[in-house]
Amino acid sequence: MKPGRWSPRALKDAIPIAQMRGLIQLAGKGPDRLFDINIVSKIPIAFIRVKFAPEILASLTEIADDFREEIRRLRLIARDAAVTAELWLRSRHGTWRFFLVTEKDLIELDCHGWPLNVG
């Protein structure tokens, strides 16, 4: 899978999802930005990077490899229980996947920011 490119449609479609979780602030444009959307709610505050994913059903390993630069940049944001960093991926058909970026892992989330139940 080729790394996801910046997609104005993905960002536009991400806004209503982000608004379900709290107040949002969009980051300015530019190649050096670390995130696209900041969600402010009681807890946590989330910094979101939105990308297009040509193969939305890829494994976590493939996603971590293909989006390593975005993940690396999200890991620069100071995080704790009250501040998180997330990678949101959108397919060309409008399917979404959401990931919490931790220091060492990616944890898949639902659209509300809760970890998906595995198994």
User: Helix %, strand %, coil % for the chain, to 5?
Assistant: 20, 30, 50
Task: Give domain 8-109's CATH architecture.
Answer: 3-Layer(aba) Sandwich (3.40)
Global pTM value: 0.88
The token pair at 51 is 């990308």
Q: Rounded to 5 degrees, what angle do the CA atoms 59, 82, 100 make? A: 5
Q: What is the mean pLDDT of each run of 10 residues along the chain (119 residues)?
A: 62 94 89 90 88 93 95 91 93 95 94 82
Smallest Cα–Cα separation from 63: which of 94, 96, 89?
A: 89
Domain parsing of the chain, residue ranges? 8-109
